[in-house]
Amino acid sequence: MKIPVILLFCAGMVRAQIVSPQLGLVQDGSRLRPVYGIPAAAAVLPPLDYGREFARVAVSPSQDYAIASDSDTGVVLLVMARVATPLAGTAANPDRIAISPHGSAAALWSSSAGRLQIISGLPASPSVRDVPTAFLNELPSALTVSDDGALAVGAWPDGLYSFGSSGEATRIPMRERIAAVAFYGSGHDLALATRLQILKIANAGSAGAISTLYQAGPLDPVGLALSWDNRRLTLAERNGSLLTLDLGSGAASQLDCGCSPEGVFPMGPSVFRITAFDGSTFRLFDPSSSSLFFVPIASAQQASIQGGAQ
């Protein structure tokens, strides 16, 4: 009886070595697919079945949940594992969904209603509050929210606005039009990009001191984000250029991804998704090593192994 037991034990060890950790989630049209592996050797698995399809999706940087709107009803959903649950108190059919740097808060914008909502306590204890924005009714070119949910900042055609925890709205004077914004993790400092430079606003809620992080335009930003530890900032441009700033030393490095970036979307603490999943692959960027990774569809064998492990 010892031999079969040993064989079973060894088989279990082999399977444990083959099964990869879940790296995160990626949108595939109206569905979500899990991504398994490490950045340098990851694969996209078949779509998850939630019994519904999604219109708009934002995945948390921590990769443990997503916020999505239902394709049929427009209802806003908290999507976790294989369950999609309506988020009570949210307005249907948001035009933009932004999730905070570490994933503990989100902001929803609806142009038709001129309505901004902030969700705090994600994902375990979501709490929704409305922010008065009746004076705005256009789609913001950029939107971000702080991890504590106390502040949201958006760029509209007539200016940059911050919205505080008590509903106060503050217009932050800027000479240039803002193309991308992102809060620093666990704080209220704000990074923003124009066509000429990248700036930092200390404590955006009080419109604090503005400093220049990078000035070597012209730039054509499609998105920016900071690393989990706020040590690096990555900006993606429409022409495929990826700019990384070391915020400690001020050093800048650039890389041409040979692609058309969708934005800069954190997948965990160290890497960013920079292109949309096109049905066969998407691209990841590791700013710490200036490395690009292609993440393809999983083979039938990989999908079988990972599917059995879920």
CATH code for the domain of 186: 2.130.10.10
Tell me which residue range forms the domain holding 30.
2-309
Task: Write down the pTM of the prediction.
Answer: 0.90
Distance CA 223, CA 123 (A): 24
Q: Which stretches of 149-220 are assigned E, i.e. beta strand?
A: 152-156, 159-163, 169-172, 180-183, 190-193, 198-201, 210-214
Number of structural domains (the chain) is 1
Residue 310 pLDDT = 56
Ranges under pLDDT 70 in the chain: 1-19, 207, 302-310
Residue 2 pLDDT = 40
Residue 165 pLDDT = 86
Q: Which residue has the tokens 């997948």?
A: 267
- Alpha carbon dihedral 162, 165, 168, 170, in 10-degree steps, equals -20
Residue 158 pLDDT = 86
